[in-house]
């Protein structure tokens, strides 16, 4: 019996925040309106399906935009540090990858053909046809020997729910079903990405789940929507009831069910303090980040889709350190046209100029889907049939990133020409993904040079030659950091993939994902190797990935020598404020104490305690300042 006694639970902190409120339990599987067979003609049912598909794809696109950073009207005083060409004028989580994956599934030819067959040849209504088609495909996927592919059945579940909920009748039904979750702390067993989308739309206060992984698609979405979230809260469903009060501390992964009056008062007081701190952070967000002893640190934003420049400025981001381009293939039956890419890149670069805009070339393969198209194949302009092998596509060490692009020169050439021709503001940087060989960088640089050389002189006069850089996300790249810096204008360390490759774990694998640890000694020593080389080169080395946005890691990263961060937009004000309150020499000594440790969990606990200590000190100091003023 659950009773009214106090219960305390520890879970996995997914998306930070403190919530005090009532619990509401949510079922994972929504209800869908079912229409009887052969009520309408086959043509009518097919159109119902196409309408639902269009609505689902539109929802995916809008969510990608909503969860991404957003033309600044002014620039910070020291903005000139960021783009040398414009000194007179004067930055997971894997949201688009998730959404792109769903878009690919919903637009899949095999899926559409199955649904068409069930509608036209077996007289199924649209809903039944969708359910049967997904059941058939799911059975094939789940029977595969490859564990990674079997795990992808969760993506199929999410897409099926997206499509069914996009049917007009079921959508209104599900909205009514979810009304009781508004402003509540939702408790669920194992949330899918579609659940997180539903919770975001209804406006839940927080999320607690019995199961879930740090880098799952559901976790990425929760962070993108800034919903305070805790996963892996064992027995939470058994230990709580609807309507009970709870404290969800998603900064530390702690949950209290039926808290005492004293605990409630303390939590509410802490929320008030955090509100004041957030106001203070937003007010100072545009100030530069400089340590107490004068070391300048640049903080960029990561962007998973169209950049909202106003929000970019408000966050304090000093440019975009990583703009992923996978979303450009979303909702597309063909490879995006070069002219469309050029217009998008130019408008984006102009909107944030003079701030840097670092655009990563298409990073397909591994856990990121290859571009799918029908028009190009039919026109014999491009065929991706030879890269459709599932083992190659889904292996984290297969034909992915720059390897894939060099095998598909048409896609690579279109992206590079669009980037070169879009650089009228002179702030575009081209980032090469998954580099393991120096000749990969040289081939891209040669292609850029060839494109530039072939431009008419009148066109060159209005453009600037773009910078070219490489991602360091493999052990090979770490050990070639000197060679990579010699070839590149800049370097970006992708900590998520680097962790995965160093530890030989797959983030989506239910077994090995538990071994994924951003504070593993091997990763920290690799970062030290990379940042140490910054002393010997003028090539800027930045860090992106979850660790860059994690405030408990900021002091350690500064101590390791990181001078360029690329973070989730929501994390930027806090990261910059922490930097301003750090002393570089002290951070360096702190890092020297951490590096000899041999356990990632121990390191994480030390960092959390250190952060809590410093955060409390900063909070107290700032509150005294606010009262004095």
Distance CA 345, CA 303 (A): 13
* Mean pLDDT value of segment 49-77: 65
Q: Are 233 and 577 in contact (CB under 8 A)?
A: no
Residue 445 scores a pLDDT above 70: yes
**pLDDT: is 516 or 49 the higher one?**
49
Same fold, 7-31+177-259 and 292-623: no
**pLDDT: is 269 or 575 the higher one?**
575
Average pLDDT, the chain: 82
Domain 7-31+177-259 top-level CATH class: alpha beta
Given this model, what pLDDT does residue 187 score? Answer: 96
pTM for the complete prediction?
A: 0.66
CATH fold of the domain at 292-623: TIM Barrel (3.20.20)
* Among 567, 554, 561, 568, CA closest to 610: 554
Q: Which two tokens stand for residue 36?
A: 């009887």
Q: Which CATH architecture has domain 42-66+93-166?
A: Orthogonal Bundle (1.10)
**pLDDT tens string 373-431:** 433 333 333 333 333 344 444 555 678 899 999 998 999 999 999 999 999 999 999 99
Distance CA 55, CA 126 (A): 14
* CA angle, 570 then 571 then 577, to 5°: 125
Of 112-126, 156-170, 268-282, 423-437, minimum mean pLDDT range: 156-170
Given this model, what pLDDT does residue 426 score? Answer: 96
**pLDDT tens string 145-190:** 544 455 566 678 778 888 887 875 544 445 556 778 999 999 999 8
Q: What percent of the chain lies above the pLDDT cut of 70?
A: 78
Q: Are 124 and 110 in contact (CB under 8 A)?
A: no
A 10 A CB-CB count for 55 gives 17
* Mean pLDDT value of segment 116-127: 91
* Mean pLDDT value of segment 427-438: 97
Given this model, what pLDDT does residue 139 score? Answer: 81
Residues ≥6 apart with Cβ < 8 Å to 184: 21, 22, 23, 24, 204, 205
* Mean pLDDT value of segment 307-334: 79
* Among 180, 190, 186, CA closest to 246: 186
Given this model, what pLDDT does residue 487 score? Answer: 97
A 10 A CB-CB count for 252 gives 14
Half-sphere exposure of 243 (CA within 13 A, CB side): 3
Given this model, what pLDDT does residue 311 score? Answer: 80
Distance CA 88, CA 278 (A): 32
Half-sphere exposure of 510 (CA within 13 A, CB side): 12
Q: What is the DSSP letter of 226?
A: T
Calculate the CA 195 to chain-centre distance: 17
E strands, 266-335, where? Answer: 289-290, 296-303, 319-323
Residues ≥6 apart with Cβ < 8 Å to 389: none
- In this prediction, residue 75 has a pLDDT band, given cuts at 50, 70 and 90, of very low
Given this model, what pLDDT does residue 219 score? Answer: 85
What 3-state class would DSSP assign to 302? strand
Domains in the chain: boundaries: 7-31+177-259, 42-66+93-166, 292-623
**pLDDT tens string 526-550:** 999 999 999 999 999 999 988 999 9
- In this prediction, residue 37 has a pLDDT band, given cuts at 50, 70 and 90, of very low
Residue 94 scores a pLDDT above 60: no
Largest CA distance in the chain: 79
Environment class of residue 242 by beta-carbon count within 10 Å: exposed (0-12), middle (13-18) or buried (19+)?
A: exposed
Residue 354: cis peptide before it, omega within 30 degrees of 0: yes
Distance CA 20, CA 205 (A): 9
* Mean pLDDT value of segment 455-484: 96
Distance CA 32, CA 158 (A): 14
Of 79-93, 240-254, 448-462, 574-588, minimum mean pLDDT range: 79-93
* CA angle, 437 then 442 then 443, to 5°: 95
Residue 76 scores a pLDDT above 50: no
């Amino acid at each position: 019996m659950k009773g009214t006694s106090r219960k305390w639970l520890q879970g996995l902190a997914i998306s930070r925040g403190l919530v005090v409120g009532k619990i509401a339990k949510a079922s994972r599987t929504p209800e869908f309106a079912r229409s009887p067979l052969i009520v309408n003609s086959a043509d009518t049912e097919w159109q119902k399906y196409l309408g639902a598909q269009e609505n689902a794809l539109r929802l995916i696109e809008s969510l990608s935009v909503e969860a991404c950073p957003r033309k600044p009207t002014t620039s910070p005083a020291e903005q000139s540090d960021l783009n040398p060409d414009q000194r007179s004028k004067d930055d997971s989580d894997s949201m688009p990858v998730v959404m792109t994956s769903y878009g690919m599934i919903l637009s899949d030819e095999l899926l559409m053909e199955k649904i068409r067959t069930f509608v036209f040849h077996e007289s199924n209504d649209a809903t039944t046809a969708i359910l049967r088609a997904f059941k058939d495909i799911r059975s094939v996927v789940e029977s595969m020997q490859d564990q990674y592919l079997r795990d992808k059945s969760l993506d199929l579940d999410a897409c099926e729910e997206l499509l069914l909920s996009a049917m007009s009748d079921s959508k209104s039904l599900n909205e009514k079903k979810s009304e009781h979750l508004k402003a509540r702390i939702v408790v669920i067993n194992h949330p899918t990405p579609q659940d997180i989308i539903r919770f975001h739309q209804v406006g839940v206060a927080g999320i607690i789940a019995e199961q879930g992984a740090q880098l799952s698609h559901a976790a990425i979405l929760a962070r993108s929507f800034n919903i305070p979230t805790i996963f892996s809260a064992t027995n939470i469903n058994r230990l709580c009831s609807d309507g009970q009060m709870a404290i969800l501390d998603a900064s530390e992964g702690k949950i209290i069910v039926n808290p005492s009056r004293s605990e409630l008062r303390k939590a509410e007081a802490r929320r008030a303090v955090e509100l004041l701190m957030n106001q203070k952070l937003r007010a100072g967000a545009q100030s530069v980040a400089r340590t107490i002893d004068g070391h300048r640190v640049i903080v960029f934003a990561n962007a998973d889709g169209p950049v909202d420049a106003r929000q970019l400025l408000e966050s304090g981001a000093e440019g975009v350190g990583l703009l992923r381009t996978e979303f450009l293939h979303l909702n597309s039956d063909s490879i995006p046209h070069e002219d469309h890419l050029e217009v998008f890149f130019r408008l984006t670069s102009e909107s944030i100029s003079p701030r840097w805009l670092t655009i990563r070339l298409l990073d397909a393969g591994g856990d990121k889907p290859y571009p799918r198209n029908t028009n190009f194949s039919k026109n014999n302009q491009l065929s991706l049939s030879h890269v459709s092998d599932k083992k190659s596509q889904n292996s984290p060490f297969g034909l992915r990133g720059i390897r894939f692009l060099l095998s598909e020169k048409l896609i690579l050439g279109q992206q590079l020409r669009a980037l070169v021709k879009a650089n009228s503001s002179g702030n575009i940087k081209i980032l090469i993904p998954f580099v393991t060989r120096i000749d990969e960088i040289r081939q891209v640089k040669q292609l850029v040079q060839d494109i530039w050389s072939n431009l008419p002189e009148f066109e060159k006069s209005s453009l600037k030659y773009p910078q070219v850089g490489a991602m360091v996300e493999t052990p090979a790249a770490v050990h070639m950091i000197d060679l990579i810096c010699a070839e590149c204008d800049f370097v970006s360390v992708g900590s998520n993939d680097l962790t995965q490759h160093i530890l030989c774990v797959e983030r989506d694998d239910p077994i090995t994902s538990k071994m994924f640890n951003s504070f593993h000694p091997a990763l920290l020593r690799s970062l030290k190797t990379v940042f140490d080389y910054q002393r010997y080169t003028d090539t800027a080395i930045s860090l992106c990935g979850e660790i860059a946005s994690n405030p408990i890691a900021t002091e350690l990263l500064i101590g390791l020598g990181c001078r360029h961060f690329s973070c989730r937009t929501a994390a930027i004000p806090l990261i910059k404020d922490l930097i301003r309150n750090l002393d570089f020499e002290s951070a360096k000594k702190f890092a020297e104490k951490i590096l000899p440790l041999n356990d990632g969990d121990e390191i994480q606990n030390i960092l959390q305690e250190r952060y809590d200590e410093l955060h409390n000190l900063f909070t107290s100091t700032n509150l005294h300042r606010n009262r004095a003023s």
